[in-house]
Amino acid sequence: MSLQPSTTSRVRLGLLLGLVFTLGVVLVGLRFLGRGAEIATPVAKPTQAPPAKGQVRVNLRSSASLNLDESKNVRPDATELGPKALNTLLKQKEAEVRAMIKELGHADESQDSGLTNSAEIVLAMVALKPRIVKLGEELDFLDESWPEANQQERQVILDRTSAIADQLLIEFRAALSALPKR
């Protein structure tokens, strides 16, 4: 008799491990999805319980007597995102970065970049990180897709660009905070 397990037992072991893995994934998924679910509690109808002390009883109204006229509805239109909206956001975020640099004491108006040499070197090192490079590429893609985007897509682009700029600001602040103030 050989000490090697037979082919049949290997297949059974593989099926058993696959079944256990699948069951584990399903249970974890159900647990994850079940966290946000709340069991609806039945709500008492207003006619079932008398009003508590201090409450005013209100007669229910029927929607049958409502006269809805769409022409009288006034809905504020969303501001249209023109071709310069993205540039405006980027200028605002750049101003936030410059204010942060000034706040941390690394601003140098005599330099072309407006940064001290040490801050410029640190930010260049941060810009070489793969995560930052990826964020920069995504910013470039969003910038390129802006002209052809419709209003909903432009809003998504603005939101994502703002989020990326905020992430970059956090990274830059962390890197510059490690430097001594000049």
- The domains of the chain are located at 85-177
118: enclosing H helix or E strand: helix 117-127
The CB-based long-range contact list for 6-10 (8 Å cut-off, 24+ gap) reads none
149: enclosing H helix or E strand: none
Q: Which amino acid is at 107?
A: A
Give the per-residue pLDDT at 167.
92
- Asked if 168 and 96 count as a contact pair (C-beta separation under 8 A), the reply is no
Give the per-residue pLDDT at 178.
85
Phi and psi at 107, nearest 5°, equal -85, 140
What CA–CA distance (Å, rounded) separates 97 from 168?
9
- State the sign of the Cα–Cα–Cα–Cα dihedral 117, 119, 122, 127: negative
Give the per-residue pLDDT at 141.
92
Residue-level pLDDT, tens digit, the chain, 182 residues: 556 666 777 777 777 777 777 777 777 776 766 655 555 555 555 555 665 666 666 677 777 766 777 666 665 666 777 888 888 988 999 899 888 888 888 888 887 778 888 888 888 898 899 999 999 999 899 989 998 988 889 899 999 999 999 998 999 899 888 888 76
Give the per-residue pLDDT at 92.
93
Nearest to 154 by CA among 95, 97, 91, 87: 87
Give the per-residue pLDDT at 130.
93
